[in-house]
A = this chain, B = another copy of it.
Amino acid sequence: MARRERGSTRPSGDDRQDAILATAESLLAHRSLGDISIEDLARGAGISRPSFYSYFSSKDEVVIELLARVIDEVEGALAGLPGEVSSDPADRWRKSISAFVDVFTKHEAVAETAIAARLHNPEIQALWARSMQSWVDYTTKVITSERKRGAALDGIPAHDLAVALNLMNERVLSASFSRERPAIDRTVVVDVMLGIWMRSIYGSSAEK
């Protein structure tokens, strides 16, 4: 909000802003936010450090803008998911978990940066929370409808279950991508997560 107060006679304004964002995303692929100075971002965009502040008031504001764009994509990905249960529940859940994984993969650097930066920045925290909330709401809705038709187990409140499973995905993916240890190999990570989702939601009967 209020990230530029210049007028708009000159044509170069928005281009410069985009250049900063592009520089940030490309630098974040190789270094952490803390290792990138505002000077680096300014130089990358072809402007001086003070001029940076005409476009963003801090490094975090840049991350916020990058994250905001990813979140728009998240909302889109969710809208593309089936609202009703298809013939094969496992297939449906795999699709939605894969959608989550796809967003995470495609914007790996931004996601990792946001996860780290939210710890000291309430605004980033709020944005990330909004994104997670979208997934949780969707998950809760589907679990509830599966329970209504008698396919899914009761016992754990649907919302709590949805929160735990989505937080698990966030953490497990983060560990897999950043090659921490312990972690799950990238090649099987979706299968493992899906397995836990199926058993937690439906019980053992749902195993493949």
Which residues of A are at the interface with B, using a C-beta cutoff of 8 A? 32, 34, 116, 119-120, 125, 129, 132-133, 136, 153, 155-157, 160-161, 163-168, 170-172, 175, 180-185, 188, 191-193, 195-196, 199-200, 202-205, 207-208
A36 to B158, CA, bound (A): 40
21 CB < 8 A contacts A-B: A32-B120, A34-B120, A116-B119, A133-B182, A136-B182, A155-B207, A155-B208, A156-B192, A160-B192, A163-B172, A163-B182, A164-B172, A164-B192, A166-B182, A167-B168, A167-B172, A167-B175, A168-B171, A199-B199, A203-B203, A204-B205
A133 to B156, CA, bound (A): 28
List of B residues within 8 angstroms of A207 by Cβ: 153, 155, 203
Does more than half of chain A's interface fall in helix, strand or loop, or is it mixed? helix
Docked-complex contact B195 and A156, CB < 8 angstroms: yes
Count this chain's copies in the assembly.
2
Residue from A165, A183, A199 whose CB has the most chain B CB atoms within 10 Å: A199
A182 to B132, CA, bound (A): 7
A83 to chain B, nearest CB (A): 21
A123 to chain B, nearest CB (A): 14
List of B residues within 8 angstroms of A155 by Cβ: 195, 207-208
List of B residues within 8 angstroms of A175 by Cβ: 163, 167
Nearest chain-B residue to A155 (Cβ)? Answer: B207
A166 to chain B, nearest CB (A): 8
For the complex of A and B, the 4 pairs showing the least CB-CB separation, nearest first, are A203-B204, A168-B168, A171-B171, A156-B195
